[in-house]
Structure 1
Amino acid sequence: LFLEWLKTFAQYCTYLLIGTTWVRESLLPGERMKGPHSFSGPPPTTYDVQFPLGRPTSENLQAICDNSDLRPRYPSSYFPESGYGVNKLRASAVNNAEAWLSTCCKENQTWEREVTLCCATQAWELSVEKYCEEDLSIKHPWYHCCKINNNNKRLSCFSNNAPNPNYRPTQELPVEPLPSTIEFTFNPNTCQRTQFPEPSALRKSKTKKLSTPRTADISFPPGRPTADTIESVCRNQRLRPIYSIKCLPRSGYEMVALQAKTINLIEKGFKKCCKNKKTELNCAEQKWREELNKFCLPENRGQVNYPCCLNQSDKYSCFQQMSPDPYYNVTSAHEEVSLSKICDTHKTIKKKFPVGFPLKDFVTQCCPLQEEAKTACSVQLLEEMSQKLCASKKAVPTTVRRCCKLSSQETPQCISKIIMSAITKATNFSSQKKRKRCPIS
């Protein structure tokens, strides 16, 4: 009897569980039933967002306009009331971008195709800019593309990570459009062509001939000096660039000029700090903090509109995370050194780092050859030169005489080291002379 009762009770529980699940799935409030695709159907579980959008191009422009209502939108009801902050931020960026792209597409019938593309590009770039501004102002794991300081590289990063770069339709049924939360106004004067047909509202004003804006090419901010990086900070200082601001246009590049001045002052401070091994770390970190504080409040003219300057509670960690080279692993100097580099450095070697024997045979016989043949030619000449030097009764440097005392197989390697050392010194010397550069490309 007990077993029969237990069996009946188990069946009852099973029916009860099935009935409860059916009720929960079918009677959920309508707002929670909505999704980003068709605003109906079962509630989502992961709340995915198709982010980021791809860069508008001449190849995908038609799809951007034709498939606008067949790509997802994300109403506030798509997400739970709490949580999913990162996804909500990305969803808002997608909603805004799609609304702005639709605005450009509506004018497509009266605009030239190039004007529509320019409008779409401006809309997409603005969506990236606004997303990163908000993303970097929040204390959470930042989107990796937003950490890139160079604007061109940042935009390329967003485009390369787009899940649907060709703007193909991903929804079976048309979705309802959503209004943007940020205003977008197309400015045809910023397009790369000298003159575009303007929207009807702007046609009365004359367009001026404008040059294409140049992009920043500057490694800002520099990384924070630490016990692990101070050796690289000091050892490779001459290999890192400093910047001239004389090349900058008179207006439009104030932030780049300020960044360049800050880097130059920090590097100048590093040079003094690295002279004393005992205090170099504390001195370098203090100089780094001091100049970045000045960067955020330049000459008491008000706070700079830079993400880390707005994040006063954790400003220094923010600068460290924003740095394109936080551990000082990247320099402007290190090139692969080979015997073929003698073609570029032989004049500097002769003037500054003489090896005590002529290198003209390398220059005359090997340098005119194709790149892949230069090294083979140099190795063969090195063996011939080693034999001549060691057989010669003329005075040669002591270092070469030491090489000649080795075996016939070791002698060319020994002399090669002498030449390679001179090539390395000449290469570094040339890099240091070219250290100062313009912060825009």
Structure 2
Amino acid sequence: MGSPAALACCTALVLVLLSSASEEGKAVEQREVTFDIDEFMQEMQLPHSANTWKVQELGLTSRGGRPSFGPRSAGGPPRLEYPVEFPLGQPTFDNIQAICINGDHRPRYPDSYFPVSGYGKLKRMASSVNELEYLLNACCGSNHTWGTEVTLCCASMAWKFAINSYCEEDASIKDRQSECCKPRGSDRLNCFQNEAPNPNYTATQELPVPQIPSTETFDFTPTDCPRKIQSPHVPRGQTNVIQSPKKDFYFPPGRPSADNIESLCRDQKLRPLYKVNCLRNSGYELMSHQAKTINRVEKGFKQCCKKKQGVLECADQKWREELSKFCLNKNGEPVDSECCFDNVEDSRYTCFKNLSPDPYYNLTSAAKELSLHNICDTHKIIKKKFPVGFPLESFVNQCCPLSEEERVLCFAQELIAVSKQCWNSPPSLHNCCSMSSHERPQCISKIIVNAITKATKASSEKKKCPLPYIL
């Protein structure tokens, strides 16, 4: 225990502070203050700057004035001169993109941010922010495989995990418990959400900040997420058809003009051609007719773009010829299309021009970001020319018949299933299997996407089915 003289000094300091508050006529709320006298005496031996925090935690500076403090915290102490952006906001559809894009432009709090002693509550808040940002970064890292919905599911679960972990630690320490930790369930989460200083996850740091590795164990698999649509049951012998056309199926094609002729010719190889024998079910006659027209228009464009002069006039003539043919079926009757009911050619062409979803050939010309979805179109070429070293049948048979929304979760489940077979893995997966369980699915996904890229380039000249996938 410290010397009697030092103890007397401490007692006098507390009495002076209380006396000063009383003389000013202000009501002082009495509360029991406990501390370790040995620890307190040790702190008194340190320089002034090192022991100031002990007095500040009582709400006073060493000179008796109020300290400056930043944004409110969830039932915690004043933030003083070490602000912490706590708590983080709840992930939603509105902010998940910002969560992933601005991840390295939000603050982190290394151990060097705080003094060695004190600030226990703020340090726990900072640690919680560091942990959650690390987990959010992991969720965002698999976005290209999972898609937005599963990434949001992962981020939401990580947020709830971090909030509850913080409250468990907060309750285990003899200190004033955070107000938001007192409720349970959704009330607790709503409280933390309302306290978030940056709920939109905007970037607040000019320069990128490094990640601080997590020490928490957070297990997440896409199967933990709710599935909005149940997988359809396809009886043996029946064909499961996805009704919506592909996103790169744009009809009618844009009319050639001075504004689009450059991209029309330059990026022609990037635009797909279509096969129609895949549309073996009834009800797709119009789509088949549209696909054939696109193919003939593109063939005409190819011939025109090779010319040195009169490219625009040639392309426009080919476009008008093929759209006129489109409006007549085999028996000479008008096709059931809104533009075809107008018998005046100029009006009909204007109608097609205005109806085109891609008038400047920007959408169909843009290079697509390949993902696991493309395996449904390229798996045969991959198996024949670019094998990945492990079977892809489960991906194709289980996931490709589903809707795009269902495929996201299905692909993620199949990646996890493959990653769990590392005990009997082929040589192509040895590098992935040496990684942690959280990193393996992403590693396997990269192998497959690399094969998809090669297969896509090899099949760029071949025709594609207008529909995403038909068994």
TM-score of the aligned structures, taking structure 2 as reference length: 0.33
TM-score of the aligned structures, taking structure 1 as reference length: 0.35
